[in-house]
Amino acid sequence: MSLIVQKYGGTSVGSIERIKAVAAKVCKFRQQGHDIVVVVSAMSGETNRLIGLAKEIQKTPDPRELDVLVSTGEQVTIALLCMALMELGQDARSYTGSQVKILTDDAYTKARIQEIDVERMRADLDAGRVVVVAGFQGVDEGGNITTLGRGGSDTTGVALAAALKADECQIYTDVDGVYTTDPRVVEKARRLDKITFEEMLEMASLGSKVLQIRSVEFAGKYNVPLRVLSSFQDGPGTLITIDEEFSTMEQPVVSGIAFNRDEAKISVRGVPDQPGVASRLLAPIGEANIEVDVIVQNLAADQTTDITFTVHRNEMNKARQVVQKVADELGAREVVADDSVVKVSVVGVGMRSHAGVACTMFKALAADNINIQMITTSEIKISVIIDEKYLELAVRSLHTAFGLDKATA
C-alpha cells in the first residue's frame, strides 16, 4: 500500500462533471489500497475572475486582502470534491492551507513554504479518509492567509508529498506526460516514460509549460518522485526522478528539444576593448531587473569589441534604453535591437558521457541552411539563437537528427 499525493489543476476541476470524474478516479486508487491526499486548484478561470473583481475596486489591490480573496477559489473546490467523494461512499475531509497549517513567510501573493504540520492529515489517513487540501495557499506566523504565487498548487502538492514522505506525487494536467518536444510543432514527438529532474528543470526554464520550475526544484531538493499524467485519459504518464535511477545504458544522449519564442537580441557594436566594459554595459540591465540570457563578446581587429546579449522579448525596448545610455558614455558605434530571434535547445543528461552532440546539432541546422547567431552551453544543454522564421524547421530537423522520432523499444 502506497501513500500518493495527487494534484489536479483548474482544468481538471473546471466543472461539476469534471469534479465528479476526479472523485471517481480517486476512489479507484483507494480501492487498490492506496492512501490518498488530493491537492486541488480553483476551478479554471475562477482565480482570474476574483483578481478582476479586486481590480475593479483597487487598481493595485492590497496584497494581503488579495490573498484573502483569491484563496476562496480553492476553498470552493475542496468542499465540492469532498461531497463528490462522499456520494461515492468514500469518507473525505477538506482542509484549507491554514487548517493544515502550511506555514509560510509573510510575502503576500508570492509566499514561500517554511513548514507543514502533518499530524491532522495522518490521523485522517489512518481513519481511512481521503484528505483534500487547497493548493496555492498557506498561513503566516500571524495567522494571515497567504498565497504561493504562480504554480503554487503544484508546489503545494510536492511540498505535502515531501512532508508526508509520500511514495509519489502525481500531477494531473491536460496533457498525458512530458514530450520530446511540443507535439503541435513536431507530429512525431513522443511521450517520455522517464526524465531526470535536471532535464525537466532545463525544459521548464526553456519554455516547456507542463510543470512550474519551482515545483520541480522542490521535488528535486527533497527527492520526491513526480509523475505527470492526464486527467482525461488513462496512461502511465512521465516519471520525473533522480539521475541515479537511470542506468548509463538506457540514458538517451538527448531527451528533448525545447524552444522559446520570447527572445530578443541586443548588440552593442564598436565598444572600446578595455577591462570592465561588459560589466558597465550589463550591470545597469541587472539593476533594472531585466534578466539576461545568452551573452557573446567578439573582438575586432580595430581594438573594439561587439557585445551581444538576449533578453525577454517584452523587455527589449526597456533594455535597449538602459544600454543606449551607457553605450553613448563609452563611445560605442551603435546599439541594434532585434526581436525576430528564437532560442532552440537540445537537452539530455546523456551529454555528460557522449561526445559529438554539438557537431550533430550544427550539422543538422547547416543541412537546412539555418544560420546560428549565438551559442550557449551547459553540462546537459546546448542552445542556439536563430531567426524565428526557421524555428519549426529547426525543431523538426533536430528531433530527427537525435533519433527522437523513433519510438524506443
Q: What pLDDT, in 10s, does the model give residues 112-140?
A: 999 999 999 999 999 999 999 999 999 99
User: Domain range spanning residue 155?
Assistant: 3-174
186 found inside a domain? no
What mean pLDDT is predicted for residues 140-158? 92
Mean pLDDT is lowest, of 73-77, 183-187, 222-226, 398-402, for 183-187
- Does 148 fall in a domain? yes
Give the tens place of pLDDT for each residue, 160-200.
999 999 999 999 988 888 888 888 888 888 888 888 888 88
pLDDT in tens, 209-265: 677 778 888 888 888 999 999 888 888 999 998 765 554 455 568 889 999 888 999
CATH of the domain at 266: 3.30.2130.10
Same domain, 269 and 170: no
**164 shares its domain with 262:** no
Q: What does the pLDDT average to over 294-310?
A: 87
- Of the candidate ranges 85-99, 237-251, 368-382, the one whose mean pLDDT is the lowest: 237-251
d(CA 48, CA 25): 27
- The per-residue pLDDT for 409 is 45
CATH of the domain at 33: 3.40.1160.10
140 and 27 in a single domain? The answer is: yes
Arithmetic mean of pLDDT over the chain: 90
Q: Note whether 158 and 270 are same-domain residues.
A: no
Task: Report if residue 208 sits inside a domain.
Answer: no
- DSSP letter at 388? G
**Does residue 193 fall inside a structural domain?**
no
First vs last C-alpha separation in the chain: 30
- Answer yes or no: do 157 and 261 share one domain: no
Q: Is residue 125 part of a domain?
A: yes
Do both 15 and 143 map to the same domain? yes
In a domain, 331, yes or no: yes
Q: Which of 127, 148, 174 is the last residue of a domain?
A: 174
**Angle, to 10 degrees, between the axis of helix 277-287 and the axis of helix 316-330?**
140
Tell me, yes or no, whether 276 and 375 share the same domain. yes
Sign of CA dihedral 28, 29, 32, 33: negative
**Last residue in a domain, options 145, 174, 203:** 174
Q: With respect to residue 221, please indicate whether it lies within any of the assigned structural domains.
A: no
Please give the full DSSP string across 283-344, using - where no structure is assigned: HHHHHTT--EEEEEEEE-TTSEEEEEEEEEGGGHHHHHHHHHHHHHHHT-SEEEEEEEEEEE
pLDDT higher for 174 or 326? 326
CA 360 to chain centre: 28
Predicted pLDDT of residue 243: 65
* Helix, coil or strand: residue 271: strand
Closest Cα partner for 205 from 352, 48, 380? 380
Count up the domains in the chain and report the number: 2
- My answer on whether 165 and 299 are in the same domain is no
Residues 261, 170 share a domain:
no
Please say if the pLDDT value at position 290 is more than 70.
yes
Task: Tell me which of 174, 203, 234 is where a domain ends.
Answer: 174
Contact between 288 and 318 under an 8 Å Cβ cutoff? The reply is yes
Distance set, CA 205 to CA 35, 165, 212, 293, 343 (Å): 33, 27, 9, 11, 12
CA nearest 156: which of 100, 108, 209? 100
Report the C-alpha gap between 377 and 229 in whole angstroms: 31
- From residue 331, alpha-carbon distances to 104, 270, 271, 277, 327 in Å are 49, 8, 7, 11, 6
Tell me, yes or no, whether 124 and 269 share the same domain: no
Cα(382)–Cα(351) distance, rounded to whole angstroms? 10
407 part of a folded domain: no
| Nearest by Cα to 173 from 241, 221, 238 | 238
Give just the sign of the alpha carbon dihedral 367, 369, 370, 375.
positive
Please state the three-class secondary structure of 117-186 as a single string. CCHHHHHHHHCCCEEEEECCEEECCCCCEEECCCCHHHHHHHHHHHHHCCCEEEEEECCCCCECCCCCCC
